[in-house]
Amino acid sequence: MITPVTAILLALTAMLANGEYFLGSSMLSRPLITCTIAGLIMGDVRTGIIMGASLELAFVGSFSIGASIPPEIISGSILGTAFAIGAGKSTAVALTLGIPIASLVLVIKNLCFIFILPYFVHKADRYAEKADGSGIGRMNVLGGFFSVNLPIGLVVGISYVLGSPVIKTVLAAIPKFVISGLGIATGLLPAYGFALLLKMMINKHNAVFFVFGFALAAYLKISVTGVAIFGACLALILTGYSAYKDNHNQGTGNGPKDNNGGVNKAQTGGINYEDEEF
């Protein structure tokens, strides 16, 4: 039975699940949790828990590592469970009903990530210029709420009312290239973040280390952690780490000995950072 109250409760469940990112990345978005709550709302906790276990195993490979965000499992598992319990069907049905909705939400999420969230990110920059810390805080809280949390809640609530077939029709109406184009754009967006980061860090004298890290990763397929280790070694070599140690530990025998830190400072004085501000 479809009631507005159920729709609202399911929407709130989706928002709570996404709220994990406000609450210490605490796994609230995993099917084990969301399906249990959805089951409770639909009046069959036991089935909800069992569906949660099956969906958890089905989605076990989906988690965010580094820069990627997980596929939209929140809406898929909540609505899948709700539809399946409502229709008295099995977990397999939950999965097949859930996946089109998950795809639709992913499209909407990408749209929000590209067109809404950046507004908050850049507004925060303007608050930073004015040294307005609470402004930055507002952008953090409102940005996450309006560009991810609320849209997910709305889509889940509305989708529940409309039902799975309507979602499929909506999805079919969106041109394929728009969907995949948005996906491609999300792969390109980190370039902007890195460009801004480079603006803060790079100058004529240290640009070579950017090339060094890039080449290690591109040619030798070394992971970012691996490159960090190479970079750390290079940094220690270039700054004469052994000389630094010798202050406390005479006679290790490697490297030139500078007992006086002040001498070191004078020697490296040629590297002048202060006048390289961009």
Partner 1 sequence: MKMKSSKHITHKDLMKVFWRSFTMEWAWNYERQMNLGYAFSLVPVLKKIYSNSKEKLAEAYKRHLAFYNVTPWLSTFPLGISIAMEEQNADDPNFDPESINDVKVALMGPLSGLGDSFFWGTLRVIATGVGTSLAIQGNILGPILFFLIFNVPALLTRYYGLFVGYNIGSSFIEKVQKTGLMDKLSYGASVLGLSVVGAMVATLVTIKMPYKIGTGTDAVTISKIFDGIVPGILTVLFTLFIFWLDKKGWKAAWILLLIAGIGIFGAWTGILGGI
Helix 117-129, helix 91-115: angle, nearest 10? 40
Residue whose CB is less far from partner 1, 8 or 124: 124
User: Shortest approach of partner 1 to residue 71 CB, angstroms?
Assistant: 12
User: Shortest approach of partner 1 to residue 277 CB, angstroms?
Assistant: 8
User: Shortest approach of partner 1 to residue 17 CB, angstroms?
Assistant: 12
The token pair at 258 is 């500078």
Residue whose CB is less far from partner 1, 3 or 90: 90
Instruction: Report the distance separating Cα 51 and Cα 39, nearest Å.
Output: 9
Q: What is the largest CA-CA distance in the chain?
A: 82
User: Shortest approach of partner 1 to residue 80 CB, angstroms?
Assistant: 16
Amino acid at 114: I
Residue whose CB is less far from partner 1, 13 or 164: 13
Rg (CA), the chain: 26
The contacts of residue 143 (CB under 8 Å, 6+ apart) are 117, 119, 120, 121, 124
Residue whose CB is less far from partner 1, 75 or 147: 147
Residue whose CB is less far from partner 1, 144 or 163: 144
Instruction: Report the distance separating Cα 137 and Cα 141, nearest Å.
Output: 6
SS3 30: coil
The contacts found for 208-216 with CB under 8 angstroms, 24 or more apart, are 209/234
Count of C-beta atoms within a 10 Å radius of residue 121: 13
Residue whose CB is less far from partner 1, 111 or 162: 111
Instruction: Report the distance separating Cα 241 and Cα 258, nearest Å.
Output: 10
The token pair at 206 is 């240290």
Residue whose CB is less far from partner 1, 60 or 87: 60
The token pair at 138 is 């507002």
User: Shortest approach of partner 1 to residue 191 CB, angstroms?
Assistant: 4
User: Shortest approach of partner 1 to residue 145 CB, angstroms?
Assistant: 8
Would you give the distance in Å from CA 187 to the centre of its chain? 12
User: Shortest approach of partner 1 to residue 227 CB, angstroms?
Assistant: 4
